């Protein structure tokens, strides 16, 4: 009986340790296309999703297509291939047709390129 208890009880602890909440983000959450190339989370908990159709910001079960304020031709391609979020509140967006755009996540405005 003791062998049986020592075998069964640890298995229940393993089940408890691996139970996690999983959120599935898809077209029902607001994505136009479920093809996702890159995902990153910023320091405020927003999840940024790079897709074939553009850049989305996911929060509380809803994904919204992100439009830059007062920006014309900043995003040269809707095909977002890579994302990088830094500790100083900058999101770097890499596009398929080339180029990287940096966005200030505090103001949601593109950061102008500066060559030093």
Mean pLDDT of the chain: 79
**Where are any strands of DSSP class E within 21-108?**
36-41, 47-51, 54-59, 62-65, 80-85, 90-95, 100-104
| The pLDDT of residue 105 is above 60 | yes
**What pTM does this model have?**
0.72
**Which is nearest to 77 in space by CA: 104, 59, 50?**
50
Radius of gyration of the chain (CA): 20
pLDDT confidence tier of residue 97, bands split at 50, 70 and 90: confident
Q: How many CB atoms sit inside 10 A of residue 41's CB?
A: 12
Q: What is the pLDDT of residues 45-84, one digit of tens each?
A: 999 999 988 899 998 888 888 865 455 556 667 889 999 9
With a cut of 60, say whether residue 33 has pLDDT above it.
Answer: yes
pLDDT tops 70 at residue 104: yes
């Amino acid at each position: 009986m003791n062998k049986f208890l020592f075998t069964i009880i640890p298995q229940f602890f393993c089940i408890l340790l691996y139970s996690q909440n999983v959120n599935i983000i898809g077209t029902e959450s607001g994505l136009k296309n479920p093809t996702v190339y890159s995902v990153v989370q910023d320091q405020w908990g927003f999840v940024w999703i790079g897709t074939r159709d553009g850049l989305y910001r996911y929060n509380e079960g809803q994904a919204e297509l992100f439009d830059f304020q007062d920006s014309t031709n900043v995003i040269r391609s809707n095909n977002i291939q890579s994302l990088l979020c830094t500790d100083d509140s900058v999101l770097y967006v890499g596009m398929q047709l080339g180029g990287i755009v940096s966005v200030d996540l505090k103001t949601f405005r593109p950061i102008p390129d500066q060559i030093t």
